[in-house]
Amino acid sequence: MSAPILINSICSQLPLPAWQKDAKLCYVWANAAWQSFANQHGSDEWLGKNDRDFFSAKIANIIEKGDLLCLENGVSDEEITLKNKTGQEKTMQLHRLPHYDDDGKITGITALAIDITYSKLLLKQMENMMSEMDIQRNALNKNALIAITKESGQFVYVSEPLCLLSGYSKKELMSLTRFDIGLIPDQHFSESIKNLSPLQAIQFETHAKSKNGDDYWLETLLVPMDIYAGQEKNYYEISTNITASKHREETLEHEVKIRVEESHRNTLALEKRNAELITLNDQLRNIQSQLLQSEKLASIGQLAAGIAHEINNPIGYVSSNLGALDGYLSDIFYLIDKYESTIHPHMEEHAILINERKKIDFDFIKEDINSLIKESKEGIKRVKSIVQNLKDFSRIDSNQKWEESDIHAGINSTLNIVQNEIKYKAEVIREYSDLPLVTCVISQLNQIFLNMLVNASHAIEKQGKIYIRTRRKDEQVCISFSDNGKGIAAEHVNRIFDPFFTTKPVGQGTGLGLSLSYGIVKEHHGHIEVHSVLGEGTTFDIWLPIKQE
């Protein structure tokens, strides 16, 4: 078998598209892979034909242009995107080889195509991932307390927030060590991190002073970084500023000490004082626990506690300042009126003053300032109301205790929390009946109510209605949430309480809400019933015993 025949035989069996053309660019043969892409099978149908017989004019021109360059310049490689007549598109790396006869005259070309469509797509995905990583890295640098240190404690990298907190510039910190600025938990720190493996991490607290002498506390997670031969080990650290929590702890501890000393001095009221101290200590432990966990956002109750604490104080300042500002403006406007009354209407200054008042529309400003202050005061009241609703919703003072609670009050506080999310999607209709107090953990039930309301609003595509009904039957109460949304398919109804099962699009649901709700109801010795018709809506009936045995 001659070499050309052998090469043609091998190419015809390749899984990669391959073909041969004569000097006029008419096909001599095409292997099965190229025939399959062109959707034209049968070797005899290719003989003597050109690309215009199998592809659109645009694609045929692209292939023929490359063929002509190969005939002129010799061996060629190019990347092209081809589409067959059925719409299938592929990006290919095309290799062409010209043929010559014994006299050196070109007799044709052989081409081999490698499909790189998937490679191009993978490269694009990698570029997107790198871009997202850059965005995340920049976000951390701008917003998080991050450092990379050597085993010696020398800083290799510091984020902007860490510079601001410590009071040192980035250049200054890069010339210092963590020991220089006090970021060490104890004398055994260096030995502790030296023995860490790459998959281990340690968490610790440090107390340091900023460049201007202010105290601050950090809670830090330290992780060893991978190293290469001959490199010094580096450590990645991300910290949380717990200074406010520490100050509050000191304040609370000081208050407890004062209470204890007073109880010893007042022996006549010892029994009463001891009861007060027990109550106070319980409250302090609860507050301390919430403060220690608030930085981690461990639960919505702790988030509400943090919001209430952090918002109430500045809102108080703003409310007080608005009151003072209102008084100051009244005095200023009174003084301006006095000045104007001293200028006679026939004086030149009076005409100038009138003209200037018109330029700035003084009368409107005077009237609008009063309206602005009034609206601002009303806004302050609304913020205070929202904070109170957050407290009522999470019941941060209950500490997960079983107690007799008003179910309607829990539903109402939850509605206040989610009102902004559902008011544009649905009208909420409450049909309450008389219910007794129910023994429960109300903050957990509020979580269920929240999940039911949010799911109902998501099920309504445009504008609909959500019904909340309550009733009593024997020694049980039933809370029903109904919507006229898109409903649940029959094959999904039996799976909606499974962990991680969700019918929502990717990124819009975790599949945990109903699973957690089911668990809470079971802990309350109750059960949930589901009634749904696809295209008409869904009803969840939550049954709970009035008393817990």
CATH architecture of 403-545: 2-Layer Sandwich (3.30)
Q: Which amino acid is at 439?
A: T
- The pLDDT, as a whole number, for residue 469 is 95
Report the top-level CATH class of 144-241. Answer: alpha beta
Helix (H, G, I), strand (E, B) or coil at 519: helix
CB-CB contact of 107 with 70 (8 Å) = no
Helix (H, G, I), strand (E, B) or coil at 498: coil
Q: How far is CA 47 from CA 58, 83, 100, in A?
A: 22, 21, 20
- Is the fold of 144-241 the same as that of 403-545? no
pTM: 0.35
Count the neighbouring beta carbons within 10 Å of the beta carbon of residue 424. 9
The two tokens of residue 512 are 């945990």
Q: How far is CA 423 from CA 125, 190, 297, 432, 458, in A?
A: 39, 56, 27, 20, 12
- Residue 439 to residue 447: CA distance in whole angstroms: 16
SS3 content of the chain, % helix, strand, coil (to 5): 50, 20, 30
- The pLDDT, as a whole number, for residue 289 is 41
Q: Which of 518, 526, 394, 397 is nearest to 455 (CA)?
A: 518
The two tokens of residue 341 are 């009354």
Q: Which residue's structure tokens are 């309480």?
A: 497
Give the CATH superfamily of 3-120. PAS domain (3.30.450.20)
pLDDT in tens, the chain (549 residues): 444 554 555 555 667 888 889 989 999 888 888 888 888 777 677 888 888 888 888 888 988 998 898 988 888 888 888 887 777 888 888 999 998 888 888 889 989 888 888 887 887 778 777 767 666 666 666 667 888 888 888 888 888 888 888 889 888 888 888 888 888 887 778 777 877 777 788 888 888 888 888 888 988 888 887 665 556 788 888 888 888 888 888 888 888 888 877 777 777 777 777 777 776 665 555 444 434 433 333 345 555 556 666 676 677 767 777 777 777 777 777 777 776 676 666 666 667 777 777 777 777 777 778 777 776 776 676 676 666 666 655 554 445 678 899 999 889 888 887 777 788 888 899 999 999 999 998 888 888 888 888 888 888 888 889 999 999 999 999 999 999 888 888 787 777 777 666 666 554 555 567 777 888 888 899 999 989 888 889 999 999 999 987
- The pLDDT, as a whole number, for residue 294 is 35
Please report how many Cα atoms fall inside a 13 Å half-sphere around the Cα of residue 260, on the Cβ side. Answer: 7
Enumerate the domain spans of the chain: 3-120, 144-241, 247-286, 301-394, 403-545
Cα 209 off chain centre by: 33
- The pLDDT, as a whole number, for residue 291 is 42
Specify the length of the chain in residues: 549
- The pLDDT, as a whole number, for residue 3 is 41
